[in-house]
Structure 1
Amino acid sequence: MACHSHHYWADVTLDAVNAYWQDAAAMADLKWEKIFGEMIPAFQRSIASTLNLPAPEQIALAPNTHELIFRLLSAFDLNEPLRILTTDGEFYSFTRQLLRLEELPNVQVTRIPTLPYATLAERFDEELQSGQYQLAYASQVFFDSGVAFPDLLALAERKPETTEMVIDGYHGFFARPTDLGTVADKVFYTAGSYKYLGAGEGMCFMSIPRGCQLRPLNTGWFAEMAELENRAEGVGFGNDWLRFAGATMDFSPLYKALAVLDLYRQEEVTIPNIHRYVQNNQQRFLQAMDNAAHPILNRKNLIAHDLENGHGHFFTFRCGSADAAERLQAQLRKKNVLCDRRQQLLRLGFALYHPESETFERLFT
């Protein structure tokens, strides 16, 4: 039940890794023609179809979302004041990076408390509409609680034009049905294959609004591919994903991700199907939990907001202390239940590979 952190890989990913090895062995440097000419466009089309993005060529790739976000941050002139709006519930990677940036005298960060969730959108929107921020950043589903940011896409749709906005979609992508059609040219959206896609680490992406003219300071040789035919003095940038491209990386995760996407397509497994299936599992879990009257795993300790419509694919419980969370995690491990924790928070995830016959009663006995 740690699938919100690491989904088990589908069997097709083993053949995908072997295929990448064979291509590299047979083609050597010519493999780049296949990767950039066939594999990357196929992945971009699949992601665009999944999220209803109108321009697949605007989807940038990198081994992790931190690389993409730092590349975006590098496009701002740090000689000028930089004001960033975010929440206090963002993932460690972004949180740490902001703390480091705040050591610079001209960077100011405003963090909106996520609690209470019922008023989060209103409080965040009030700051956003002030027009004082160059960058806004928020999670689609918060990594610590599993709660979905209420009305985030509607909020993003009316953001000021002077503010760039990023949605961290890692805990929403391939879990919750997500339609970015109305905000595709307004926001950057980041996610990857490590969690709900089940294709492993190393393949992340960021959608880029069409017409984006930002010039990242952090830029690699992949970005040069857009300028090879029109090389001029200075550093040029293309008008597609290569604007935010980095440098050499291992593309076996790309092969794995494509294999999983193809598997779902062949089996006609859709994200709405997945979401409904997981929600049914969650309801069975809640029923077993309510019947058990567990001292920690109960409604009082469950962090939740609108379980039917406003939640991701994992539940988070307050355990009172980090020691209590560690003890409960160890007790569950003895029952062959894998889960994870963040300090005093214990997280339990749900996935397609939990059978419909699973009652979850073993967690509470």
Structure 2
Amino acid sequence: MPELSQLMQTPNVLAQDYQHAAVGARIMLTGHIHQAIPDVAALAYTQHWDCLNRYGEERFEEEFAVVERVRAGFAGLIEAKAANIALATSVHDLFVRFLSALPLQARPKIVASDAEYPSVARQLARLAEAGIEVVLEPANPASTLVERLARHIDGRTAAICASSVNFETGHQSLELDTLMPLCAAEGVELFVDAYHSINVLSFSVADYNLEQAFVVGGGAKYCQMGSGIAFMHVPPGRDFRPVVTGWFGEYDPVVDSPAQTPLAYADGAVRFGGSSQDMLPVFRAAHVFDFFASRNLTPEFLDEVHHHQLAHLAKCFTDACFAPEQIALSTAVEYMGGFLSFNSPHAQQLSEAMRDRGVHTDFRKQWLRMGPAPYLCDEQLEDAIGALAEAVQEVCG
């Protein structure tokens, strides 16, 4: 395992593993959207090509072996069992399968915040158009969101949908561990979008009291795998029968007859499996998991790195003494997830001005967002705040 000091110094000792992305030459503070993929993941393309083209119809054995490695990898990130992990190409795929397992005729109400990621938010909006009662609680303030969501739990509620971190502001949802027992008492399912917690914050389904919750995340952000791979933790010991079901949801999708009625489902999370897909993202994920293991980049260590980087960015910002009416830190660092958000009426213009200076940030509404990554050194973070100061001077005068 590298020392934190080795990541702080210039050059960051991990930067050599991301040469194709040139992370040492660019200041990429959009890690909450997409972190660089380590160079070793390029091996997945040759492995996938060989499996697909050389093995032909015999490829399934190798593909399913890689799938099991990836299920175990995601399970390790949240301290769960691999048997409780379902895979798909996106969170939306998994969310639709989750929705299809709900008794919406008997319980026609779903509760969520008004700042869920579009994979969830758009689908809920369409369900509302189709007659499902969708109740949206304001996501802010995050400190009271869980309490306000819980007020809507009753006999008509099929599910509560919540995020561990607000994807717009980066604020953590406090007291998330109190929600599952309240849901269970009324037979309500809990769906938690933990994409902005996985592999950047220490996140355990046991610590958050989410062993009986559906928890989703994926590879496109802090896991450094790119798009096309996502996972869902499925509550163990339950016989869910999702209406949206592919042939991978059967016991043995190669040998058994997936469409024989009455439909049979595999044990555990596999019953939420889909169907044939491009397996390249799965191969890529396996190589990235191997890379993290070889460098001993554990979730606990990455949490330490993340907290240092956010604190360092925040200190540099505070030391620069910006006018609060122009830009202000949206909350204390201890309540942030994987990135910092700054409240500014000029968020878009500031992001664009910083990009002109070689510093990549992004914005949502009035929030300018900065998401570091473990391969960035402290000097790059300091330079980013310097670029922000120049941008504020340019935009605000």
Pair 1:242 & 2:288 matched: no
> Counterpart of 2:378 in 1: which secondary structure?
coil
Q: CA deviation at 1:196?
A: 0.1
Q: CA deviation at 1:121?
A: 2.7
1:90 matched residue in structure 2: 116
- Give, as a single letter, the amino acid of the residue that structure 1 aligns with 2:179: L
Query: How many residue pairs end up in the alignment?
Result: 355
1:126-179 C-alpha deviation (Å, 9 max, x unpaired): 333x45411111001110010111011232244324101111011011111011
- Give, as a single letter, the amino acid of the residue that structure 1 aligns with 2:150: D
2:320 matched residue in structure 1: 292
Distance 2:63 2:325 in 1: 47
Q: How does 1:323-342 map to 2 (within 5 A)?
A: 324-342=346-364
2:169 matched residue in structure 1: 145
Q: Which of 226, 232, 241 lines up with 1:206 in the alignment?
A: 232
Distance 2:278 2:157 in 1: 36
Q: Which of 78, 81, 91 lines up with 1:51 in the alignment?
A: 78
Distance 1:296 1:259 in 2: 45
> Counterpart of 1:102 in 2: which secondary structure?
helix
Pair 1:353 & 2:378 matched: no
Q: Give the TM-score normalised by structure 1.
A: 0.91
1:222-273 C-alpha deviation (Å, 9 max, x unpaired): 2234475487532221222221111111111111111111111111111121
Distance 2:267 2:159 in 1: 21
The answer for unaligned runs of 5 or more in structure 2 is 1-28, 391-397
Q: CA deviation at 1:287?
A: 1.8
2:7 matched residue in structure 1: none
Q: CA deviation at 1:85?
A: 1.4
Q: CA deviation at 1:77?
A: 4.4
Pair 1:218 & 2:240 matched: no
Pair 1:118 & 2:143 matched: yes
Pair 1:259 & 2:283 matched: no
Q: CA deviation at 1:80?
A: 4.0
1:301 matched residue in structure 2: 328
Distance 1:82 1:212 in 2: 21
Distance 2:299 2:82 in 1: 19
Distance 1:145 1:230 in 2: 47
Pair 1:24 & 2:48 matched: no
Quick check: 2:87–2:231 contact (8 Å CA) kept in 1? Answer: yes
- Give, as a single letter, the amino acid of the residue that structure 2 aligns with 1:356: D
Quote the sequence identity (%).
26
> Counterpart of 1:293 in 2: which secondary structure?
coil
Q: CA deviation at 1:296?
A: 6.7
Q: CA deviation at 1:78?
A: 4.5
Distance 1:131 1:312 in 2: 33
1:344 matched residue in structure 2: 366
Q: Give the TM-score normalised by structure 2.
A: 0.84
> Counterpart of 2:342 in 1: which secondary structure?
strand
Instruction: Choose 343-352 or 60-69, whichever is displaced more.
Output: 343-352
Q: CA deviation at 1:326?
A: 2.4
Q: CA deviation at 1:307?
A: 2.0
Pair 1:166 & 2:191 matched: yes
2:395 matched residue in structure 1: none
Runs of 4+, deviation exceeding 6 Å: none
Quick check: 1:84–1:133 contact (8 Å CA) kept in 2? Answer: yes
1:8 matched residue in structure 2: 36
